[in-house]
Structure 1
Amino acid sequence: MTLNMPSRRLLKSASALTSSSASSPTTNALLPVLQSLSLAGNHPSCSSSRSLHTSPACAWFFSRSKKADDDASPMQKQLTGTADARKNLLNNLQSRLKGPAMFQDEAKATPSTGPSGRPTKDPRSYTPWGASLAKEHVARAADPDPRSRVRWERKMVIRQVRRGTDPFSVEPRVEKIARTERVLRSKSPFLATSVKKLVHLARQVQGKTVEDALVQMKYSKKKMAKEVRVQLEIARDLAVAERGMGLGKGEEKTEEVKIVTKDGKHLKIDDPTRMYVAEAWVNRGPWRGFRMYNHGRGMTSKQMKPSTSISVVLKEEKTRIREHQEREAKKYRQGPWVHLPDRPVTAQRPYYSW
C-alpha cells in the first residue's frame, strides 16, 4: 500500500499533528517519519532544511572542498609541517649563504651556437644575433683591409720625411695654414626667427672681435640678439677649451702691428691670439608650424612659422695678419698701375676693320 499525496500537504499535516495531539501514540510513531521527509542537505556544509519539491541547496560545484595547502608557500608548509621540517628551516636561515655569485643572473651568457646553428666551444664568441665576438673577427670588421692601411701609413710617413729633408721641397700652402693657424666652426640650433631678421645680426658681428660682437649683441634691441650672444659665448668657450685659442701673448714680446682689413678698415693688433668672427652666415630650417588668417569673402591664408640657425667661424688675429701680408705682397708683385702700357702698336690699316 502506497500513499500518494503532495509533500507540502504532508508536511502541513505533520506540523498540525505535532501542535494539536503531541501526546498520542500514533503521532509519536509517525513523527520521526514525517520529520525525515523534511530533508536536509546531503553535504555537511548545508545547514538549512528544505522541502521536497525544491532544488538542492548545495550544487555539485559547492561540494568540492578547496585544499588549504595549495596557496601556501614552501616556507609556510615547513612552518606548519613536522618538527624536523621546522628545524631544517631554522638551520637554513641561520647558516651562511652558499649560492652562486650575486651578479650571476645579470651577466647572462649568450647562446652557445654560431650563425650556422652549430654549437661552439666558447659560448661568448657570438652575440644573440649571430655576430662573432672573436678578436680576429672584430679586428677584421673594424679594419677590413689591414695591408692597404699599413701601406698608406708607410707612404704618408715617407712623404713627410722626404718633405722635411729635401731642401727643394715646399710645404703646400693649405697644409701650412692648417698647421700654424687655429679655426673653430660652430652652428647654433634652429631658432624661432626668419632668415631676413637673423641675417642682419650675422652681418653685424662679422669681422668684429669676439668681445666687440658680444657688446653689440648685449645692447641690441633685436629679439634674437640674446640668442646670438649665447651662441657666441658657447663658440668662444669651445675655442678656448678644445683648440687652445685666445690664450694671450704669454712670455713672447710682440710689437703692435697695423694692418688694413679686406673691407678697408685700419686695425692695430697687439695680441696675435685674439679671436675674431671671421665668417657668419644663416641657414634656413624647417617650418615650425603655421597660423591661419581669415580674410574677406570667406578667404583664408596660412602664415608659416620659420626657423633659422646661425653659424660662425672663429679665428685668431694671426690669420688677419697673414692675409694683410699676402695682399701687400701681391700688390708689390704687380708693380705700379700704368694708364697706357708701353708696347708697340700693331695691325695698322688704312681702312676700318668693322
Structure 2
Amino acid sequence: MSLTTPSRRLVRAAPATLPQLSRPLSTTPPQSWFWSKTDSSSSNTNLKETMTTGTAAARKSLVSKLQSRTEAPAIFEDEVAPAQADVQAKEAQALSGSGPPSEGPLTASQKLAQPKAFTRLGGSLVKEALARSLDPDPQARVRWERKMAIRQVTNGTDAYSLEPRASRIARTERQLKSKSPWLPTSVKKLVHLARQIQGKNVDDALVQMKYSKKKMAAEVTTQLKMARDLAVAERGMGLPSSSDQKMEIQRKDGRWMTVTDQTKMYIAEAWVNKGPLRARSPDYRARGRMFMKDSPSTSLSVVLKEHKTLVREHQEREHKKRKQGPWVHLPDRPITAQRGHYSW
C-alpha cells in the first residue's frame, strides 16, 4: 500500500525535525541474544492453561483439533468412507449386543481377524477400489479384447493368414525347460551323462543314472526327478490318457518305436553350460614348481516333451516324403541350347 504524495513529503521532512542523537537508532533489543534467556515453553502457555485451568468443553475441543487430520482428504475418500462407516457400525452393533443372538461381543482376536477397509498406509482395500486399480479403463480393455478376438478369428479363417507353425505347436504341445544349479564338476565329465540320457524316456534315463558309476549320476538323477515333478505339476505333462491308440513311428535317427501313450515324457534335449570357478588352489609339483589348480562348475539343462511331439515329427517327415514324389535317375527335362556346331 503506497503512500500519497503529501505523506511522502512529510516522511522525508521528518528526520530534519528530530533531535540529534549520539548514536543511530537501532531496532535490536538492548541486550544481546546470548544474554537473554527466554522460556522455551512460553509458546505452549495457552495449551497448558487450556488443559489445566480451561473448561471441559475447551479441553475437548483442543483434543479433537489435535487428533484431527491436517492433510487434504484422500483420493478415494468417497469410497473408503462408506466402507469404514459400515465396519464401524458393525463393530458398534456387536459391542452393544443389538445384533443377531448368535453373534456376541467381538474379542480382540476377532477384531484382528476381521477384514479391514484400508491398509496402514491409507490404501483402500474395498473391492471396487481394488478393481479400479487393477482395471483403470474397463472400456479400453473390452475394446482391446474384442480386437484380439476378431484378429484371431480372422487369422484362423483367412486362407492367406494361417496360424504360424510355431504358434500352433506351442498351443497344442507341452514342454518344460529346466536348468540345474552349478554342480561341482567339469564340462568334460558331465557332457557324457548328458549325451547318455538325451532322447530317452524319463524312466529309462533314471534307470541309466541309477546304475551309472559316475559321481555326478546322483546329481543328474535328482535334477531329472525335479524336472519331471515340475512338468507334472505346472504343465500337466505325463498324465496318462486312455484314448491314445497304439502306433509305430520312426524317429529322426532311424529307429522304430511303438507309442502307446502320447502323454509319456522323454528328454528331447540335454546340454551342459560352463559356470564360474569355485576355487583356486596351489598344485605343488617337482623341482619346486607350483601351478594353480582351478575347481570348475557346470550346470545341466534338459527339455522335457511328450511323445505327441514324436508323432507329429514322424507325420511331417512322411508327408514331406510323399510330397516329393518318386525319385528318377534321369529327370524329364526339355533339351535347350542346341547348336549345329561345337561350342569350343
Please, what TM-score do these two structures have when normalized by structure 1?
A: 0.57
Alignment of 1:294-313 (within 5 A): 294-313=284-303
SS in 1 for 2:268: strand
| Structure 2 partner of 1:69 | none
| Structure 2 partner of 1:289 | 279
2-structure distance, mates of 1:176, 1:303: 50
2-structure distance, mates of 1:144, 1:290: 56
2-structure distance, mates of 1:145, 1:194: 54
Q: Does 1:334 align with 2:286?
A: no
Q: Which runs of 5+ in 1 are unaligned?
A: 1-111, 126-130
- Tell me: CA distance 1:229–1:334, structure 2 relative to 1, closer, same or farther (3 Å): same
| Structure 2 partner of 1:206 | 198
| Structure 1 partner of 2:266 | 276
Alignment of 1:1-354 (within 5 A): 119-122=71-74, 152-163=144-155, 170-250=162-242, 252=243, 254-347=244-337, 350-352=342-344
2-structure distance, mates of 1:297, 1:215: 48
1:160: how far off? 2.1
Root-mean-square deviation over aligned CA pairs = 3.3
1:336: how far off? 2.0
SS in 2 for 1:171: coil
2-structure distance, mates of 1:247, 1:211: 14
Query: Higher helix share goes to which structure?
Result: 2
| Structure 2 partner of 1:63 | none
SS in 2 for 1:242: helix
- Tell me: CA distance 1:291–1:265, structure 2 relative to 1, closer, same or farther (3 Å): same
- Tell me: CA distance 1:292–1:168, structure 2 relative to 1, closer, same or farther (3 Å): closer
1-structure distance, mates of 2:256, 2:169: 24
CA offsets 1:261-312 (integer angstroms, 9 cap, x no match):
1111110111111111111111111110112112344432111111111111
2-structure distance, mates of 1:297, 1:151: 80
2-structure distance, mates of 1:345, 1:201: 57
Counterpart AA for 2:168: K
1-structure distance, mates of 2:316, 2:76: 62
Q: Which has the higher contact order (CA 8 A, sep 6+)?
A: 2
1:133: how far off? 5.1
Please, what TM-score do these two structures have when normalized by structure 2?
A: 0.58
| Structure 2 partner of 1:7 | none
SS in 2 for 1:313: strand
- Tell me: CA distance 1:297–1:335, structure 2 relative to 1, closer, same or farther (3 Å): same
2-structure distance, mates of 1:151, 1:255: 44
1-structure distance, mates of 2:296, 2:139: 51
Instruction: Report the more deviating stretch, 335-344 or 218-227.
Output: 335-344
Counterpart AA for 2:232: V
SS in 2 for 1:247: coil
1:186: how far off? 0.8
CA offsets 1:36-78 (integer angstroms, 9 cap, x no match):
xxxxxxxxxxxxxxxxxxxxxxxxxxxxxxxxxxxxxxxxxxx
1-structure distance, mates of 2:303, 2:282: 38
Q: Report the identity percentage.
A: 61
1:257: how far off? 0.9
1:132–1:138 contact (8 Å) kept in structure 2: no
1:272–1:318 contact (8 Å) kept in structure 2: yes
1-structure distance, mates of 2:273, 2:187: 7
Instruction: Report the more deviating stretch, 298-307 or 266-275.
Output: 298-307
2-structure distance, mates of 1:185, 1:325: 24
Counterpart AA for 2:247: V
